[in-house]
């Protein structure tokens, strides 16, 4: 199944380290970062899930929940969880989906045969409170993800949902933003501070207060 930005993220019910969860009900009213990892008891995955656990407070600030998945059975997830906590210094604090029959992985197109086997690649899906798919990222199995970038994108998505703006290259929260081309300069000046026209189609302004 091919998923596109703007699609409704498919719902599913699955066994997890937090018990049986239905995805849409679990994330109701929240953003979600749903991501796959190739296998339990592997080095890169241990660092990634540990980093996710350490970011619990940052996700909470953004009304965001995290959920991981691999095709390993639930017994392996539970056995691996102490390693994640030991390596990261933060106990596992989000659910890991057990998907041994690959139902969810296939629903989200997480298995890429060209990557060598039938385990999942490092897919990331950011889903908004209306269950709309807002971001997809796919990393190869050998490369750990940048979770600071995932946080940054959530900040950008939430900022652009609040105001008629876009974010420029390498944008960080608090930096200047780009005014929507659909807004006149007069209207932009009335709404935003320090509007500067670089080109008729490129106008910067101070970031609105959240």
Helix (H) or strand (E) holding 78: helix 74-88
> Is there a domain that residue 38 lies in?
yes
10 Å CB burial of residue 144 (0-12, 13-18, 19+) is middle
Number of domains forming the structure of the chain: 2
Which range (18-22, 57-61, 117-121) has the least confidence? Answer: 117-121
- Residue for token digits 């933060």? 90
Nearest residue to 125 via CA among 24, 34, 187, 19: 34
Mean pLDDT, residues 88-107: 96
- Catalytic residue selected from 45, 67, 84, 154: 45
The total number of residues written for the chain in this structure: 210
Mean pLDDT, residues 71-87: 97
Name the pTM for this structure.
0.94
Domain with 135 in it: 13-158
- In the predicted structure, residue 116 carries a pLDDT above the cut 80: no
Q: What is the mean pLDDT of the chain?
A: 95
Assign 97 a pLDDT band (cuts: 50, 70, 90): very high
pLDDT tens digits, residue range 124-161? Answer: 999 999 999 999 999 988 899 999 999 999 999 999 99
Cβ atoms 207, 176 nearer than 8 A = yes
Q: Is 63 a catalytic residue?
A: no
pLDDT for 2 equals 83
Assign 208 a pLDDT band (cuts: 50, 70, 90): confident
Q: Assess whether 86 and 142 both reside in one domain.
A: yes
Cβ atoms 35, 122 nearer than 8 A = yes
Q: Assess whether 94 and 111 both reside in one domain.
A: yes
- In the predicted structure, residue 1 carries a pLDDT above the cut 80: no
- Residue for token digits 């980093």? 51
Q: Please report, rounded to a whole number, the percentage of residues in the chain having pLDDT higher than 70.
A: 99
CB atoms within 10 A of CB 2: 5
* CA angle centred on 67, ends 132 and 29, rounded to 5°: 45
Q: CATH number for the domain including 198?
A: 3.30.1020.10
How far is the C-alpha of 77 from the C-alpha of 7, rounded, in Å? 30
How far is the C-alpha of 161 from the C-alpha of 83, rounded, in Å? 38
- In the predicted structure, residue 114 carries a pLDDT above the cut 70: yes
> Is there a domain that residue 21 lies in?
yes
pLDDT tens digits, residue range 10-52? Answer: 999 999 999 999 999 999 999 999 999 999 999 999 999 999 9
> Is there a domain that residue 64 lies in?
yes
Q: Assess whether 130 and 196 both reside in one domain.
A: no
């Amino acid at each position: 199944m091919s998923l596109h930005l703007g699609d409704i993220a498919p719902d599913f019910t699955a066994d997890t380290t937090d018990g049986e969860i239905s995805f849409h009900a679990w994330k109701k009213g929240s953003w979600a970062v749903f991501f796959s990892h190739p296998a339990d008891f592997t080095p890169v995955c241990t660092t990634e899930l540990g980093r996710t656990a350490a970011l619990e407070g940052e996700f909470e600030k953004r009304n965001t929940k995290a959920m991981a998945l691999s095709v390993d059975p639930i017994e392996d997830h539970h056995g691996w969880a102490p390693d994640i906590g030991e390596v990261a210094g933060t106990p596992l604090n989000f659910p890991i989906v057990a998907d041994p029959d690959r139902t969810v992985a296939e629903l989200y197109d997480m298995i890429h045969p060209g990557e060598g086997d039938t385990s999942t690649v490092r897919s990331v899906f950011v889903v908004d409170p209306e269950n709309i798919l807002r971001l997809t990222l796919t990393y190869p199995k050998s490369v750990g993800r940048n979770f600071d970038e995932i946080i940054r994108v959530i900040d950008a998505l939430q900022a652009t949902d609040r105001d008629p703006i876009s974010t420029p290259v390498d944008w960080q929260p608090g930096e200047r933003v780009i005014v929507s081309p659909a807004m006149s300069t007069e209207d932009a000046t009335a709404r935003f501070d320090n509007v500067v026209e670089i080109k008729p189609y490129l106008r910067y302004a101070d970031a609105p207060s959240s």
